[in-house]
Structure 1
Amino acid sequence: MTQKNKINEYLFLGRFGIEKESLRVNEKGFLSHTEHPFTDILNIDRDFCENQIEIITDAFGSVDEAYEQLSQFHNIAVKRLYSLKSGKEYIWNFSNPPYVRGEQDVPIAKFDGKLKGKELYREYLASKYGKMKMLFSGIHFNFSFADEYLELLYKESDDESYRTFKDKFYLNLAKNAVRYSWLIVHLTAASPLFDGSFIKEEDLGKDIYSKYASARCSEIGYWNDFVPILNYENLHEYVNSIKEYIESGQLKTSAELYYPVRLKPKGKNTLEALEENGINHIELRTIDLNPLSDIGFKKEDALFLHYLLVYLSILEDMKFEDSEQVKAIKNVQKAALYDDSKILIETGWNKSENVRDISLKILNEIEKFYLEVGNEKAVEIIRYQKNKVINVQERYAVKVRDLFKNEYVKNGCDLAEKYAKTR
């Protein structure tokens, strides 16, 4: 077998993990105030508040396996909530929250002993950003390439060590993933509706047809109060560029870096571990919960994220200037808008293209790549994504607005009950 054939054999192998945040609600669409009912299941934790759960899968060798475990834990959670003695509860399958009775309705997650710092950190976030923004929920997709693949690439490189090559590989991948994060948002945005109580408590029950397709990825969503500029020259400089924001007081910890992409070490996620042990995997963070799926995440989108990362990994290594990093974040926020006929994505110096046109152009390039390598499944998934761009009625945000307009929360609860009864 030739070196090229070996590389192609390992190209699609890797490790996959999925994290899914969701709010717990009662039958009437209000946030639950019961204690976290999953203390016996390590894979179901709390996120910011007591009534926001996070399902965290193990790492698997395929998207299918990670997705299957996500589905299993989701089903366990749905069944347990539906049969609580204190009254039925549901998993809220939307990124935007249901009825909210002000910030007092959002109890910060409680931790004891050695974990007390997690609670104190959440109190810090609440004071800095407000509790309401913390109710936004979504999907994080984690992926690492197979070592067999990276080792083959390393042998063809000029790098002095495998560790140096691997870190450089993931830094380059991260740059490209940030550049293309707007595409992920455009294709997965699914939160065009609000209840009025998210804006003003007295507007509880009033449907808000926002200008956003994805509120959490928009200008009003999960962002720092500055645009982080990171140094992708090497891992040491990358870590230092984050540490500078911490030392200046702009960030409390690296976890406060609200950014479309994160690079993570194996094990404990700290900057010290990242620098000492190197980059283990990449995390994509701009995926909305999708109520059109019974578990809030379509497998077609999980597969697309994998195929997108593979494609981005083979693109030429290019510098990521400060101005380009700012532009990349602006593009994400633009892609989060609802009316995609008016969204202009900045593609160069004083150059912009309509989001539909540039999305289709990029997806065609990705499709061509997978046709050339003979991956029929990838071609099928890329065409699924293209259909959302070509047929505007197939966009998730458009479908969600149409299905859940006129009593967004009531219709959302009806959907949650329907999903619960099928478990």
Structure 2
Amino acid sequence: MDFSQRLQQISANPDALTQIGRGLEREALRITPEGTLSAQPHPAGLGSALTNQWVTTDFAESLLEFITPVSRDVDNLLTQLSDIHQFTYSKLGEETLWPMSMPCFVGSEDDITLAQYGSSNNGRMKTLYRQGLKHRYGSIMQVISGVHFNFSFPDAFWDQLFGEQTAEARQAAVSDAYFGLIRNYYRFGWLIPYLFGASPALCGSFLDNSGSALNFEKVGCGTYFLPNATALRLSDLGYTNHEQSSLKIGFNSLEQYLKGLQRAIRTPSEEFAKIGVKVEGEYRQLNANVLQIENELYAPIRPKRVAQSGEKPSEALSRGGVEYIEVRSLDVNPFSPIGITEDQVRFLDLFLTWAVLSPSDPMDDAELACWRDNWNRVVLDGRNPDLQLKIGCNGERLSLQSWGLRVFAELGQVAEVMDQAAGSDHYQQTVARLKTWVENPDLTLSAQLLAQIKQQDGIGKVGKVLAASHADALKTRDYQFYAEQAFEQEAAASHAKQQQVEQSDTQSFDAFLEAYFDYLK
């Protein structure tokens, strides 16, 4: 079946498209009123970073991460994220949240304190993992922020697509469909940094530590930019691991993906071995393999399954197949107090639905390299009106605008069906608005941000103004989904839960690590 036939097939059941599961994870650095990185520890009023379900930390003490539960309603999803931000601001004092993906001014690596999770073995392992990342890639690269979008189709969607199946056949069919989606994401997902990339410029303090050879232009006393860049966060300056480039992890099946992932966490790295694992009684990293643990794999999209207690991500996938996918290529939207907007969520709904319904042939390493080259062209030069993208590995090319409009024509069909199911026109409005961004690159987030940076003479000034504006908006709103008391109770309960975890440890840290990595032997 082709795309249109599949779309017609799922449109017969409104639940197939109105019961999509979504979750958001937004990262944000805490900054001082002067616009520099906060040196304060994670605020105690926010609870334990180890056990709080809504507010935690990512790489550093100053790098907050906000997590929503799964929601079937777009408005509820964004309201939940707004409430979490609102509560967080009530505990920040004079601090605000840096509104961009690329970090604010950071004097040196030593200004970044690794996230601390207490004295439990699990908590110490989380910090040691970050210690390894620091030694491998440097701390400044690790405080780049992003927004992750978790997405799953409901059972009704698969029922319409596949009909009646045994549980075993359904599990395999769903995993295959998600991997088809992932392959199409690599083929066409450059639309996401084109539209929503918001890191066309960066602070010179970051560039000093990157050793980049890109031909940057300068504005103000220390802001560097590329004229047509969209998402420098996704370039070689950001989340890359050159050791991983040789892994060749494939996306043609769950089995191929898991095999590649297992190889990565078992492959020793000569470069990382030079760091040492335990030197003079002090751990420097979890191990010297290409990946310390599976989470270290940098990818713009990941297949996922909720893990059971004590289960590793790949074990969960192997047990139950793909349950949802995690989109990881979204920059923080600097113009939204919560880092993402309704249009962005609805576009991702449309794009991911289109990607799973569209034909998706197997992809070899050479083809994957072609698509990665397209992504790189878009993140570095995406607003160049003359930019040409590959449409295969045979040398044929098409302008970004022409190709983007072809995709939008089919996204419009998905929008009609999704609006019909929901009894609204929200998705069609999103398509109409964002189509103009394809036609006019000056409307994209990166263009809007770069214009402000040039106008205000630097990224620091823009960041401080936006941060203050977002703080005011979040502090003056009313809670709309959660009650403030729910956050206070969760914060208190998370501190108690961390204490319980710490008191229940019976192994030494050395023995704990040995048991955890027993599967590598």
Same fold per TM (> 0.5)?
yes
Tell me if the contact between 2:197 and 2:231 (Cα under 8 Å) persists in the aligned partners: yes
Separation in 1, partners of 2:55, 2:386: 40
Confirm whether residue 329 of structure 1 aligns to residue 372 of structure 2: yes
Counterpart of 1:402 in structure 2: which amino acid? Answer: A
> Which amino acid in the other structure matches residue 384 of structure 2?
D
Partner residue of 1:241 out of 243, 260, 273: 260
Deviation at 1:291, TM superposition (A): 1.2
The answer to whether the 8 Å contact 1:143/1:283 transfers is yes
- Separation (CA, whole Å) in 2 of partners of 1:195 and 1:317: 40
Within-5 A mapping of 1:372-387: 375=420, 376-387=425-436
Query: Which structure has more RCO (C-alpha within 8 Å, separation ≥ 6)?
Result: 2
For the pair 1:404 / 2:453, whether they are aligned, the reply is yes
Displacement of 1:156 in angstroms is 6.1
Task: Mark the CA change 1:147 to 1:297 in structure 2 (over 3 Å): closer, same or farther.
Answer: same
| In structure 1, distance between residues paired with 2:236 and 2:11 | 45
Q: Distance in 1 between matches of 2:325 and 2:363?
A: 17
The one-letter amino acid of 1:340's match is: N
Match of 1:66 in 2: 77
Indicate the SS of the match to 2:26: strand
Matched, 1:256 2:296: yes
Q: What is the one-letter code of the residue matched to 1:210?
A: L
1:20 is displaced (CA, Å) by 0.4
Do the aligned partners of residues 31 and 306 (structure 1) sit closer, same or farther apart at CA in structure 2, a change above 3 Å counting? same
TM-score where L is the length of structure 1: 0.92
Q: How far is the alpha carbon of 1:160 from its aligned partner?
A: 6.1
The count of residues paired between Structure 1 and Structure 2 equals: 416
The DSSP-based 3-state class of the residue aligned with 1:80 is coil
The answer to whether structure 1 residue 389 and structure 2 residue 432 are counterparts is no
Structure 1 distance, partners of 2:356, 2:207, is: 41
One of 315, 333, 345 as aligned partner of 1:272: 315
Q: State the one-letter code of the partner of 1:363.
A: F
The amino acid across from 1:346 in the alignment is K
Segment of structure 1 superposing worse, 34-43 or 16-25: 34-43
Q: Normalising by structure 2, what TM-score?
A: 0.75
**CA distance in structure 2 between the aligned counterparts of 1:196 and 1:210, rounded to whole angstroms:** 13
**Structure 2 residue 26 is matched with structure 1 residue 15:** no
Structure-2 residue corresponding to 1:195:
203
| TM superposition shift of 1:3 | 7.4
User: What is aligned with 1:121?
Assistant: 129
Would the aligned equivalents of 1:189 and 1:288 in 2 still touch at CA under 8 Å? Answer: yes
Q: Distance in 1 between matches of 2:249 and 2:345?
A: 27
Q: Is the 8 A contact 2:18 2:418 kept in 1?
A: no
1:340 aligns with: 384
Worse overlay, 334-343 or 305-314: 334-343
Q: Matched residues in 2 for 1:157 and 1:178: separation?
A: 29
1:208 alignment counterpart: 224
The 10-residue stretch of structure 1 (191-200 or 127-136) with the greater mean CA deviation from structure 2: 191-200
Q: Which runs of 5+ in 2 are unaligned?
A: 1-7, 210-217, 268-288, 476-521
**Unpaired stretches in structure 1, ≥5 consecutive residues:** none
The question of whether the paired residues in 2 share the 8 Å contact of 1:344 and 1:354 is answered with yes
Matched, 1:365 2:446: no
Q: Sequence identity, in percent?
A: 27
**8 A Cα contact 1:175 1:320, kept in partner:** yes
Q: Which stretch shows the higher mean deviation, 66-75 or 360-369?
A: 360-369
Whole-Å separation in 1 of the counterparts to 2:25 and 2:466: 22
Alignment of 1:137-216 (within 5 A): 137-155=145-163, 161-200=169-208, 206-211=222-227, 212-216=229-233
Query: Are residue 294 (structure 1) and residue 345 (structure 2) matched?
Result: no
Distance 1:103 1:163, change over 3 A: same
| CA-CA distance at 1:390 after TM superposition | 1.4
> Corresponding residue for 1:420?
471
Partners of 2:205 and 2:373 lie apart in 1 by: 27
Please name the residue that 1:24 is paired with.
30
Give how far 1:148 is off. 2.2
- 2:113 is aligned to 107
Query: Retained in 2: the 8 A contact 1:388–1:394?
Result: yes
Deviation at 1:244, TM superposition (A): 1.1
2:62–2:113 Cα contact (<8 Å) kept: yes
Q: Is the 8 A contact 1:45 1:54 kept in 2?
A: yes
What code does the residue aligned with 2:297 have? Answer: L
- With over 3 angstroms needed to count, the CA separation of the structure-2 counterparts of 1:122 and 1:160, relative to structure 1, is closer
More divergent stretch after superposition (134-143 vs 367-376): 367-376
Q: 1:370 to 1:156 in 2, by over 3 A?
A: farther
